[in-house]
A and B are shown apart, each in its own frame.
Chain A
Amino acid sequence: MWCRFFHVISSLKLTVICLSLALVLVFVGTMAQVNFGIHEVQQRYFQSLFVWWPSGSQGFRIPVFPGGHLLGGVLLVNLVAAHVRRFRWTWRTLGIHLTHLGLIIILAGGLFTDLFSVESFMRLAPGETKNYSEDPRAMELAVIGESDKDLDQVTAIPEARLKKGGTIGSESLPFRIAVRHFYQNSRLQPLDKAGQNALPAATEGAGAQLAVTEVPPAIAENDRDLKSAVIEIVPMRGETAARAPVTWLVSGQLGEPQTISCAGKTWRLVMRPARYYKPYSLTLKKFTHETYAGTQIAKNFASHAVLADPERNENRDVLITMNHPLRYRGETFFQSGFEEGDKATILQDVYNPSFIAPYVACVIVAAGLLFQFGYHFVGFIRRRKTGHAQ
């Protein structure tokens, strides 16, 4: 049975089937961008094991097509298995082996990038210092409480967990958070503007004066969903068990933390872009945005910043420009954008542990092809010379 399985997994037929399915997946995924937008399509079609139907549903759903991760994974295993099965060491085939090794590295690198890379952004106004970057696509509910005189304790609940609903607990909190409703995309309106039948979104805080409306997910590339949730704070020890449920609206649109009291302490609730903290900080000294004379066409963007890393005793000036990113501690900061009026610079922070894979793979593939063609070319010249001599 093992033998048969190995033959199937290393067969050329499987390669052709996977490539054909990948072709269909790319076509269907490209067409689906019309309805779902590029980001959603990437998640549903390419960064998943299966394409599910109905899509986006949290309830019952069935897989209808293999997703990008499954196809890429099977292709990778197929390529490795085929290599193991057919490997025979000769100089004549060295180029082919190298080329296949390069392809394996490209496939594995692509999968690693999808699984482990993190993209986020750091917005810095002149003079501002930050030791975290933010993901504008993913939100988190931060519950901030006082830890001691100098520190706040932050419990960050990711959007993916809020989306699942149910009750969320953490050892760091003396209460649980029950998610009453999660809005993938929403609009907030003052109650008096939302119509006569509008109901307050929550019983406490800003939500008591606002109505929340669910709207279709954002599709355009630069649009984003405005996520909101209505949550209930449930004390651990039933101190208010007899009371009516106390609900709060949390949303990135509020822009201000709300304060709750529980177990004799106060906590701040805020829905914000997911944060990635770093052991170092960047301070923006100056942002320059040059244009070609007499036009608005950009010539150069540059962020002059100070990198401070107490752990490594680093404190130095760095310059981040369009084609000269800052690489530090495995992360790369690209000059990505700026705010209108040059009020702030926007740096894209990419953590990709396999960023070197495509470079290495390309060199290996190029070496393999050069060797293979060179080997045959030399053989051809030799045979030609021998023919002439005869």
Chain B
Amino acid sequence: MTFYRANLCVALLLAAALFSGCKDKDAIKVYRVSKGERESLAPQTSEPARGGMGALPPMAAPGAPSARPSQVTGTAPANWEAQPLTPMRQASFLVKGDDGATADISLVALAGTAGGVLDNVNRWLSQLGQPAITAEQLANTAQHVGSAFGDVTVVDLAGLPEGADAAKDGRIVAGIASGEGKTYFFKMRGNAALVESQKDGFIRWIGTVRASESAPSHP
């Protein structure tokens, strides 16, 4: 019987080892990724648009229906292509240039100060692989434009993070407006030359954006 018992013990040990090695679904993972890797998230939808051999794709298609109608109106340049909105994006556009160059334009409204102007500018700089600046440097470089949401602090930031695609990245022109307990982020990010060519139109667009009639009193 000793032979049987030994075999049984081996079988039970193997089974225990097998189950102890199961995928740990609760484990928190910590890792580092290149700053060049931009979050390219499409909003998730319950029934993703797809084709093919029956597999469930990881994201909804960029052309998926928007989560809600826009709560702002504005006069965007004719060459900007409107993109589907998300609960966070009040406005979203894509502009295309030569040789596959693109730039992404968005308006996001968040409650509160959303980190403040300096923190957000430094966050954008870090996205471009650039060092942070001080409040004094920000004051010297920022320009101010008027909008329906109040004074907008506009910054123009350049830099290409390592590993990033120069056709889609390299420059951010962004504006921040605060008022009525909310912060509005106007942002254009993409190919450096394309962003430069669109900068004037972007600043004019900021001036034209206002809450649409269906929107609440403070969007």
Which chain A residues border B97 with CB–CB below 8 Å? none
Min C-beta distance of B9 to chain A, whole Å = 10
**Does the CB pair B18–A273 fall under 8 Å?**
no
Binds B, one of A27-35, A236-244, A334-342: A334-342
- CB within 8 Å for A151 and B35 given contacts A116-B23, A120-B58, A209-B109: yes
A372 within 8 Å of B (CB atoms): no
Q: Return the chain B residue nearest A118 by Cβ.
A: B23
Interface size for A (C-beta < 8 A) is: 100
Among residues of A, the one whose C-beta sits closest to the C-beta of B8 is A6
Among residues of B, the one whose C-beta sits closest to the C-beta of A49 is B19
Is the Cβ of B11 less than 8 Å from the Cβ of A81?
Answer: yes
Which residues from 193 to 219 on chain B have a C-beta closer than 8 Å to any C-beta of chain A? 215-216
Cβ distance A321 to chain B, nearest Cβ, rounded Å? 11
Q: Knowing A154-B32, A204-B112, A254-B86 touch, does A337 contact B55 (C-beta < 8 A)? A: yes
Stretch at the interface among B118-126, B133-141, B150-158: B118-126
Contacts of A146 in B (CB 8 A): 126
A193 surroundings in chain B (CB, below 8 A): 68
Chain B interface: which of A14-22, A90-98, A121-129, A378-386?
A121-129
Are B88 and A254 touching (Cβ within 8 A)? yes
Which B residues lie within 8 Å of A261 (CB)? 115-116, 119
Our pick among B7, B26, B57 for the contact of A123 (Cβ within 8 Å) is B57
* Nearest A-chain residue to B123, judged by Cβ: A266
Determine the residue in chain B with the shortest Cβ distance to A341. B63
Distance from A282 Cβ to chain B, minimum over Cβ atoms (Å):
14
Determine whether A164 belongs to the interface, using a CB cutoff of 8 Å to chain B.
yes
Report Cα–Cα, A2/B3, bound state, in Å: 12
For window 109-165 of A, CB contacts with B under 8 Å fall at 111-112, 115-116, 118, 120-123, 127, 129, 133-138, 146-147, 149-158, 160-161, 164
- The B128-184 residues at the A interface (CB cut-off 8 A) are 129, 131, 161-162, 165, 167
* Contact, CB under 8 Å: B50 / A9: no
Provide the bound-state CA to CA distance between A85 and B58, in Å: 49
Shortest B5–chain A CB gap in Å is: 5
* Inter-chain contacts of A161 with B (CB < 8 A): 26, 28
Q: Which residues of B contact A77 (CB under 8 A)?
A: 11-12, 15
Q: Is A222 an interface residue (CB 8 A)?
A: yes
Known: A266-B115, A336-B52. A149 touches B57 (CB 8 A): no
Contact of B87 among A222, A255, A272 (CB under 8 A): A255
Q: Is A253 located at the chain interface by the 8 A CB criterion?
A: yes
Least CB distance from B138 to A in Å reads 15
Whether A258 touches B50, Cβ cut-off 8 Å, given contacts A224-B56, A272-B41, A340-B61, is no
How far is it, in angstroms, between the C-alpha of A85 and the C-alpha of B50 when the chains are bound?
Answer: 54
How far is it, in angstroms, between the C-alpha of A77 and the C-alpha of B111 when the chains are bound?
A: 59
Closest to A7 in B: B4
Beyond A190-B87, A254-B87, whether A222 also contacts B26 by CB under 8 A is no
**Interchain CB contact under 8 A, B50 and A338:** yes
Give 7 closest A-B pairs by Cβ, nearest first: A337-B52, A208-B111, A255-B43, A252-B44, A255-B86, A336-B55, A134-B58
Beyond known contacts A77-B12, A254-B43, A254-B86: 4 more, CB 8 A cutoff: A123-B58, A252-B43, A335-B52, A339-B51
Interface residues of B (CB under 8 A from A): 1, 3-5, 7-8, 11-12, 15, 18-19, 21-23, 25-35, 37, 39, 41-59, 61-63, 67-68, 71, 86-89, 100, 106, 108-112, 114-116, 119-120, 122-123, 126, 129, 131, 161-162, 165, 167, 215-216
- CB-defined A-B contacts under 8 Å, sample of 25: A3-B1, A6-B5, A127-B167, A134-B59, A149-B35, A150-B35, A151-B33, A158-B29, A161-B28, A168-B28, A192-B215, A204-B112, A251-B87, A253-B44, A254-B43, A254-B87, A255-B44, A255-B87, A255-B88, A256-B39, A256-B89, A272-B41, A339-B50, A339-B57, A339-B62
Using a CB–CB distance below 8 Å, which chain A residues touch chain B? 2-3, 5-6, 9, 73, 76-77, 80-81, 84-85, 111-112, 115-116, 118, 120-123, 127, 129, 133-138, 146-147, 149-158, 160-161, 164, 168, 170-172, 185, 188-193, 203-206, 208-210, 218, 220, 222-226, 251-261, 266, 268, 270, 272-273, 277, 298, 301, 322, 335-341, 343-344, 346, 348
